Amino acid sequence: IYLMLYYIVVMSTGLGVLNLVPAYWLDGQHILTSMLHILIVDDPKKRKRWTKLILRGGTFLLISNLVISLIILYYRRNGVIIL
């Protein structure tokens, strides 16, 4: 039981942290929007520009990390050692 609870806590924490990444379709998108509303009050165009820039960067990094991880997993399962 202890091991099962440990895995549940680790998985939940990992998913929670992943959900905080400022990327499209994640909660980090809404957190970023709220923070930029607080920090950049006077200029909606500037706020929208920063939101798009940060969200595109976060989404790119998230997808890049996923693709690289899948490539590494594929090669390791086929016996090729990389990285």
pLDDT value, residue 83 = 58
Confirm if 25 and 57 have CB atoms less than 8 A apart: no
* 82 DSSP assignment: -
CA dist 57 and 19 (Å) reads 15
Q: Return per-residue pLDDT of the chain as tens, 83 residues.
A: 899 999 999 999 999 999 999 999 999 999 999 999 999 888 899 999 999 999 999 999 999 999 999 998 888 888 777 65
- Look up tokens 């595109």; give the residue: 56
pLDDT value, residue 76 = 84
Structure tokens at 20: 């905080």
